[in-house]
Structures are given as C-alpha cells and as structure tokens.
Amino acid sequence: MSARRWLIVGLIFLTGLVGGAEGCRPKPEPITWVLIRVGGSEDVVQTEAITVRGLLAERGLELGDLDWIEPGLWTEIYPGLTVTITRVEERQEQILIPYSQRILRDESRPPGEKRILTQGQNGEEELVYHVVLEQGKEVRRELVERRLISEPRTEVVIVGIRGMVPPASLPGLVAYISGGNAWVIDGRSGEKRPLTFEGNLDGRLLSLSSDGTRLLFSCRGGANASDPLNTLWIVDTRLREESASSLGIEGVPYAAWGPTGNWFVYSTAERTEGAPGWRARNDLWLSSADGVTVTQVLEPDQSALYSWWGTSFALSPNGEQIAYAKANEIGVISLLDGERSPLLSFPAYHTYAEWVWLPSMSWSPDSRWLVAVVHVASQEIGPVEDSPLFDLYLVNAETGTHRRVVSAVGMWSMPRWSPQPLELADGNFAEIAFLRARRPMTSDESPYDLYVTDRYGSFEMDVFSVGETQELTVPICSWSPLGDQLVVAAKGNLYLIDASGGVPQALTADGLSGQPRWVLSGQ
C-alpha cells in the first residue's frame, strides 16, 4: 500500500475517533423562546421545558378550575409557540324578581272600592356568571346558572264593580270560573265572591257537590316537563276567603261528585312533550271526599281507538254507573264491579289534526237514558270518517236501544238534560237543552245557538242566540235545579234565561266568566 493511501486511512480513523467521542458526551437541553399571554399581559421567555405543562411548572404559573389554556397541557414546546392563559372567575349576583298584581272584580263591593287581599312580595334570584379577566379587569361575562332563592308572591287586589249588572234572583248556588279563579253566586247575582285567588285554575274540571257545600277543581301543573298535568283541589263554598286544599291527586282530566257529596270519581293522565301535552290512562277511581280512601274501578287501558286523547265520562244521578264515550263508542260502566257495557257504536270522526272528537253526553234524572251527540255516516261524502254530520241521539242505558232526536246539530252540541221537565205554553215539555250549529256541514268552526226540546225531538225552540262571529263557551249552560231557567256562558259572561224563552239577563260583567254549575244549596 502506498504511503499516500496509508495517510488517507489514518485520517479517516482519527476522524471516527473524534466523532465517537463527541457522540458519547451528554447533549444540553435546547433553549427555546416562547410567548406567554396571561390575563391580557404578554411575556417572551426562554424555556427548557418539553411540554406546556412543564413550562407552567417552570414559570410557577397555576391554573384555576375555570381558567382556559391554549394549547393543551401536553402540547410539545417548539420555537415561537404562543401559550395563552385566560383567567376566569365565578361570581354571584342577587337580583329581585318583581311581584305581579292580579285584579279581581267583585260585584258585591261598591264601584271603585279597592282592597288588597294578598300583599305582594318580591322574589329573589341568584345569577351565577363566569367572568373573563384581563389584567384583573372584567372584559366579558357569561351567565351559566340561575338559582331561585324565593318565589315572588302575587298581589291580589279586589276592585268593586257593583251595579254594572242589574240584580237577579237564582235559587241555590252557581259556581263558575272567572279569570282563572273559582267564584260562586249565592242566591242573587249581587252576592258574588271568589273562592280562590291565585288565578291558576286550568278549566279542565269544575264539580259542585249536590248540596253546594264543596267544589272540586283542577289547577295547572308546573312549567317543567316533569311536573304533573294538573292537580286536584277542594274548597268549602260556605266559608269566605277560605283557603282551598290540595287532595294530593295529580293529572286529572275528569272528576265529578257522587250524589251524596261524600265521594267523587276521577280519571288520570300523564304529561307528555309535544301535542296534545298529555296521554290519558283511561282509568277510573273512587275517592272519599278528603282524598284519603281511594279505590280503583278501571285499570289503565290503551286498547281503544285514539286512546291517548282520553275518554269522556258522565256520572249517573243515582251514582251507580258512569257513562263513557270513546271516539267510536258509547257505553256504561258499573261502579260496583267495573263491568263495561257498550251501548252504541259509530264511525270515528277523522279530524286530520292533533285533536280527537269525543261525544258529549248527559243523563236523564232517573238514570235510565242518555242523550248524546253521535257522529253519523253520510252516503254522499267519501269515507264515513270524513262525514261532517252529527246528530243528537237518545240511548237506553239498560238495553242500548237508541233513536235520533235531532238531526245535524253539530259536533259541539253539548246536550244538557234538565232535572225536571218544564211545561211550555203550547203544551210541549222542555227537557233537553242543546246547541245547534248554524253551519252544520262545518260545525267545528260554526257559531251555535241554544235550543230546548223534549226527549222525542217533537219540537225545537231557540232560547239564546249570539252574533255570527261569536261561539258560545264550553260547557255552554247549566239548568236550574227547578228546571225552569238556564245559566248560559257566552261572550265571556254569564246570562240568566228562562227555559221558555225571553230576554237574557246578564249575571256578570267581567268578560272572563264561564263553565257554570248550578245546584240547590242546603239539599
């Protein structure tokens, strides 16, 4: 090998030794420059940390529970990285919730007289904010929670409006709903007084005991989806400004007193999201007057057509059975053993909407007959479910025999059987009050007039009419216990009329009244 070649090999060898020695030495950690932003201030620093987490530990920076950091703690450090820490604090603030005022018009007090029945009181609410800080100063806040400390109490003010309607005598006691409260008229139209003051009756049910001493009613449930559909309450009508009592029964679409006033019957439903807002159980219960002793008559039933909407019920005057109405069937149920007896079937009405039509019914005083609105098929209009015709039928509660009483009354006819027949000047007897649609082919939107007839439909007499654009409120009327007069709810007020016809006499003037119930007090 030539000398020159040996020289090259030696140089390569020496180079390898030098390189190997350098590779064995420990490498110093690289020093990296990063930008740290904390709460609006900036600082460029050198770091030997590998991750953002290490950088914070190196600089002695701590994160609060609500602070934000960008990028994340396990992000690797690289030259020119910007680490941003946003300081966030939680702060609370108490605010007042102003109370509202409810006006109750009292026709038993002089005009303009005012009296505070319930003193208003503000509520209190705590607001919880997440506050973003820059250099210790607030730059942005976000509301994250509202905590109710105390509910506001509505101030209830009674304002007298006596003299706005002429006085009228009414034997017995009339209960009704006005402005979301239960009211009574005791003997004379000037003797009106409220039984409740919160304005939260939902109008689903109102039942007056036969002696007029106790009133069942339902109040709205809460605003949350988990709250009940409504709640059942009772109040003594004899005591002034007596507080109503909750019976602890929830979700009640139907309730009615038995004939003795010592017990009542009811059905239940559960609240749901979306239309219509409930699902009926189609069950039936008997309860003592105080709601303590409860007996189930019917198990929940979802087998019927449109069962989710519910069942119409009507308790017989003798309290032995209850009539039921489904979308396509009417029958009776024995309260003794729960036995169901279908009486009359018919095609269900197709509404093409999120509501279901159910027949309305009323019992004869002897508990033998039912008068009911029935959907009837039309040979001229497509499918039977689309027929717009509704007739008034008489149905025997024992045998199921039935016959038509009045044709084309409309779907909202709402028949009411009188406690006793009234002989008219022409020799006819007024036994049944019913509504008749002026446009029976579109009765869901038609105005209605009030008529009376007998159980045979041998005559029809118009006793109360309203304007073309104003429908009567539901339920439309209540018979006098003597069978000679009716209280009618129309245009937001109550009117007294003779069953033989005549000029209606206004009983209320608040424009908020409806759903009358009339019994003889002291029975």
CA separation (Å) from 54 to 84, 153, 222?
A: 15, 56, 52
> What's the confidence (pLDDT) of residue 10?
41
User: Which residues, given as ranges, of the chain have pLDDT below 70?
Assistant: 1-30, 107-108, 163, 467-475, 522-523
Please give the pLDDT value at position 159. 83
Residue at token pair 């740290």: 36
Q: How many CB atoms lie within 10 A of CB 108?
A: 16
**In the prediction, which pLDDT does 419 show?**
96
**Among 180, 188, 190, 178, CA closest to 521:** 188
Q: What is the pLDDT of residues 369-426, one digit of tens each?
A: 999 999 998 777 778 999 999 999 999 999 999 999 999 999 999 999 999 999 999 9
Contact 480, 518 (CB under 8 A): yes
Please give the model's pTM, rounded to 2 decimal places.
Answer: 0.73
Please state the three-class secondary structure of 413-481 as a single string. Answer: CCCEEEEEEEECCCCCEEEEEEEEECCHHHCCCCCEEEEEECCCCCCCEEEECCCCCCCEEEEEEEECC
Identify the structural domains of the chain with CATH numbers, from first to last: 32-87 (3.10.20), 91-150 (2.20.230)
Please name which of 183, 112, 209 lies closest in space to residue 512, comparing C-alpha atoms.
183
Position 90 scores a pLDDT of 86
Non-local CB neighbours of 228 within 8 Å, separated by 6+ positions: 221, 222, 250, 251, 271
Neighbours of 235 (CB within 10 A): 19
Q: Which tokens sit at 504?
A: 């209606």
Cα angle at 416 between 238 and 366, to 5 degrees?
85
